Amino acid sequence: MTSSRLLCSCSCVSWPLCGAGLPEAWQGEPYIVQQPASQTARRGERVTLRCAAFGIPAPCYQWYRNGNLLNGRTKETLQIASLDSDHEGSYLCAASNVLEEKWTESADVSIVHPTDPPVKRLTATDKVALLIGNRNYVHHPSLTAPMMDVHELGNLLQQLGFRVVSLLDLTRAEMLATIKAFLQLLHSGVYALFYYAGHGYEYAGRNYLVAIDAPKPYLRENCISVQRVMHSMQERRTALNVVLLDTCRKWYSQPGLPSEVMSLAPLGNTVYGYATCEDAEAFEVQDGERSSGIFTKYLNKHILRPEKITHVLEQVSEDLGRDPVVTGKQVVEIRYTLKDPRSLADPVRSAGHTRELRLREFCWRQANELPERQRLVFPCGVEVELSFSALFSNIMVVFATVKTRSPQVLDHSLSLRSTPVMEDVFSDMGGSDGMDSLLLNSADNTDCSLRLCGLQKLQKSLTILVDLHYTDADSKLRKTESRQQDVGRPLMAHCELHSKLPADATVVRAGGAGIPFLSMNKPATHRQQDRPFRHSTRKAETAWHCPARHTSTNNNEPEENDENESYPA
């Protein structure tokens, strides 16, 4: 190497090279020579963070706060002109070139209050949430509330800084694979939240979640043990584990053997929030076209409060207890071993956990990555734009909009299809309990839309086919032209969940039901006529419904089968 100076950044700042400080096998990948330093300052003061790196070619920079990308912050120096509470958090910088990407250690920025006594502030190294809602059951009554409950709770958790994966309608194999992937993202210091809405029951002191493909009667071997999930979460040495269950806890047999899952050493980091107490049902409310579980209704009301999580759940319990509709029917139960007043609103400080943060950032982006907007030009001269929106991590909506018209076209309409063909699980619900309102809120004067459900089943690239129907200006004949666009494997499909399925799992492949995806030309709502609408089970008064709503009968008692699910650390 002949030069004693190397270009260190895209902004053309040079730094002296000290050969003794570089790795022996250095090939030009970014080498960080200046780490950002943690700082405290008074409100309104200027704060400057610096990072410097060598590299051939010269590295580029990208700053992050609390693990989230800061748009436009791509220089080696990050300046905060006037510090306020929105700027507090954990900062780090990524230096990258064509060879590699390197991350700095994190630097904490906080506001100092000289007159205030020092207070220990609890923090998380990251926040991760998995939300599952099961509503379209194969062998059990369909539910209505899980869709809106998961959607609204997911949005609120994102406001609290959680990396959220929200999924609807999973088989047992898919639930096991998803939980396994979730557990692999949990490390020391992380706040982990697991939420489930759907059918469930209790047996011998343990709670079970019912997958959409679970047969009748309920068998433990066909369901998911909540206690086993919590045990696996604790094994990851997280700072806080929260399990929230909006499901029934009816007993389907007399109490039997004690739980096989033994508690770990007292960690003081676990919180259970049950929608109802033992041997009781949980109810959902129907308000016009909108359905929600009563527990999640009050949970969403209070979850943003910057208070100890147990205090938040206590407020949920009090509000639900004052609701006259469920008096004597449903009471929230809270269990916890919490030694610190941890809150879901606690800030993220990732110091010393950069590697794990990068892994979670990568996996989260995979599960939430949407295709870029696409432009398709038809032979008649019409140009159509495809855009994409995620309703959940496994449900995407494709919008088609005519952007450029042609004098050759007198009138037109669009329709959308997909390859492989997949079933739209909401098309047969006769009004999709709020899904259509979510869809319309995502649209922006579009001509046609297509809802893609169950993306976790996708094992190859997804192709969107656009059909343009129009009347030719010269011949006055009705014509159809088609174009197609490969959009890869969006959202949860990119995570290849099928590769994590247990060896004995039966994979339900996309399109296996043979029911085509339907385009939705606004404002029409489509419904499959060959599948009957399945109502929720028995009603309570004033239009309340019960999700997991079987009373105890002899033919629905769990058999004496040992559980065999496992979640490797």
Cβ neighbours of residue 84 closer than 8 Å, sequence gap 6 or more: 43, 44, 111
- Residue 126, amino acid: D
Residues 6+ apart with CB under 8 A from 535: 141, 142
Is 248 in the active site?
A: yes
Q: Which residue has the tokens 């009781």?
A: 280
SS3 content of the chain, % helix, strand, coil (to 5): 20, 30, 50
How many distinct helices (H) and strands (E) make up the chain?
7, 32
Per-position b or e across 547-568, b if 16+ CB within 10 A of its CB: bbbbeeeeeebbeeeebebebe
Annotate 120-157 with b (16+ C-beta within 10 A) or e (fewer). eebbbbbbbbbbbbbbbbeebbbbbbbbbbbbbbbebb
Burial 410-445 (b: 16+ CB within 10 A, else e): eebebbbbbbbebbbbbbbbeebbbbbebbeebbee
- Contact present, 163 and 360 (Cβ < 8 Å): yes
- The torsion angles phi and psi of 492, rounded to 5 degrees, stand at -65, -20
Residue type, 204: A
Beta carbons of 81 and 49 less than 8 angstroms apart: no
Q: Which residue has the tokens 């954990």?
A: 90
- Which residue is catalytic, options 140, 187, 199, 498? 199
d(CA 476, CA 223): 60
Residue among 248, 363, 448, 546 flagged as catalytic: 248
Rounded to 5°, the CA angle 530-533-536 comes to 155
Residue 486 backbone dihedrals phi, psi, to 5 degrees: -80, 120
Q: Is 223 within 8 Å of 175 (Cβ atoms)?
A: no
Q: In degrees, to the nearest 5, what angle opens at C-alpha 188 toward C-alphas 502 and 174?
A: 20
Measured between its terminal Cα atoms, the distance across the chain in Å is 46
- Looking up tokens 């066909």 gives 222
Helix, coil or strand: residue 165: strand
For the question of residue 353 being annotated catalytic, the response is: no
| Contact (Cβ atoms closer than 8 angstroms) between residue 155 and residue 121 | no
Tell me which amino acid residue 187 is.
H
DSSP letters, 83-149, are: --GGG-EEEEEEEE-SS-EEEPPPEEEEE--TTSPP-PPP-BSEEEEEEEE----SSS---SSHHHH
Q: Which residues are known catalytic residues?
A: 199, 248
